[in-house]
Each structure stands twice: as structure tokens, then as C-alpha cells.
Amino acid sequence: MVDYEVLRVFCGADGRFGNELGVVLDGAAVATREERQGIAGKLGFSETVFVDDAERGVIDIYTPTLRLPFAGHPCVGTAWLLGVPELVTAAGTVSARRDGEVTWIAARAEWAPPRTLREYGSPGEVDGLEVPPPGEWIYAWARTEVPGGAPFAEDAVGVRARGFPGRADGIDEDEATGAAALLLAAELGRPLVVTQGRGSRIYTRPLADGLVEVGGRVSR
């Protein structure tokens, strides 16, 4: 097994929670897609990143069962780890920046994998959901109050969310899902402050040029 880093991406305001991410810094040590897919499956994180060029930010992203052209929490976590101004993904070039404790990336909604965005009437309904059967990637969400300490709050929408990948790959629920939050921000056209899973925090903000920023705290 190759060496890899483990990060927690989209940590809560208190530094807890976040979605675990595996990052293989020496992507050249795992040359083929088949090998990378095998390692991602063995590690069992919702996503694993292989860094092919650390200076240029060239990365390759895998779930335990498939390759993704783009994904939110892998990009935010890898941008934090490498400290680069952009990442080169299979979907396109993702800009990156850091503002205090929050690392931001900017990407287009069409780069995100398809998600079913399913709105519920209250956060309690979202909290009470059972894990649905495999077959559909469901992002369950409801409007709520914007929590304190957000980097913006004036026109933001507070969101309580849970993510159910539905892939039957051992990840029944995603603790924090940047791509789904990006899609929701693009659909609503508003900045979002998302509390997902057990207490992870995701920030999103539509930009004027069709891009959407996604940000959060990252920790080892």
C-alpha cells in the first residue's frame, strides 16, 4: 500500500467532524486507473485523491468504486494541503484560495456529478430520515437559521442537509458533500451555510461569472 495523508474536510466551527479524505501525494507510484481504483476501494474513504503534479495541482479523484472528474471535498482538502492557487481536474481547472480558516475552491455546477436535491419541510424531517436503498444519490435538505460565525450571513440561506450516495459501496451516508452543496447553491442562486451529517459545515457562494465557490475548514 502506498503512503497517504488523511484529512478531515468541512470541519465544524469547533474543529470536529468533517468528511475524511485520503490523499496519495506520490501519484506516480500508482500509475494506472485500475491500481488507483483498487487502492481507493481498500482505503474505503468516500473519496481518495491521487496527486500527479503537486506544483501544478494536477489531481485524480476516486470513490471506492468509480472515478470522478470533479468532487468538492477532495478539491477543498487537496487545495489546503498543497497550498496551490488552482487544481487541474479531469473536469476543468478549479481555482483555490484561503481566507483565514476557510479554504475556498471555485467550480462550475455542470462539473459536479448528478445529485437528486430533495427538499424537506423542516430540519427535523431531514434528521429523521432512514438511509434509502441504493440506486440514487440523494441530497436531503431543509431550510434553517444561519448559524453564527459564518464568513457571510447577510443574504445567506441556512441549510440542514444529509447526503446518501446510494452506490452500495460501504458509504451509506456522506458526512459532508461539497459538490451537492455547490449544485444547491447554483439552483437557489444564494450563498448557503450548510450543516451536514453529524456537524460538518460547508459554505457556498454563487459568483457573477457562473462559477460557484465552495469552502470550509480542513484539518488532519
Nearby residues of 27 by Cβ (< 8 Å), 6 or more positions away: 50, 51, 52, 53, 59, 60
Average pLDDT of the chain to the nearest whole number: 96
Which domains does the chain carry? 5-106 (3.10.310.10), 111-219 (3.10.310.10)
Q: Is the pLDDT reported for residue 3 higher than 90? A: yes
Question: What is the Cα–Cα distance from 146 to 76, expressed in whole angstroms?
Answer: 22
What is residue 153's predicted lDDT score, i.e. its pLDDT?
A: 67
Residue 88's nearest CA partner among 101, 99, 102, 74 is: 74
Give the helix/strand (H/E) hosting 186. helix 178-188
Assessment of whether the complete model's pTM goes beyond 0.95: yes
DSSP at 29: G
| Helices 72-82, 178-188: crossing angle, 10 deg rounding | 110
Percent of the chain scoring above 70 in pLDDT: 100
What is residue 218's predicted lDDT score, i.e. its pLDDT?
A: 98
DSSP at 170: S
Q: Is the pLDDT reported for residue 15 higher than 80? A: yes
Q: What is the mean pLDDT of residues 153-166?
A: 92
Beta bridge partners of 34: none
Residue 73's nearest CA partner among 170, 190, 154, 171 is: 171
CA–CA distances in Å: residue 61 to residues 77, 93, 122, 161, 212: 12, 14, 33, 23, 20
What is residue 51's predicted lDDT score, i.e. its pLDDT?
A: 98
Q: Is the pLDDT reported for residue 184 higher than 90? A: yes
Question: What is the Cα–Cα distance from 101 to 105, expressed in whole angstroms?
Answer: 14
Q: What is the mean pLDDT of residues 80-95?
A: 98
> What's CA 103's distance to the chain center, in Å?
12
pLDDT in tens, 67-79: 999 999 999 999 9
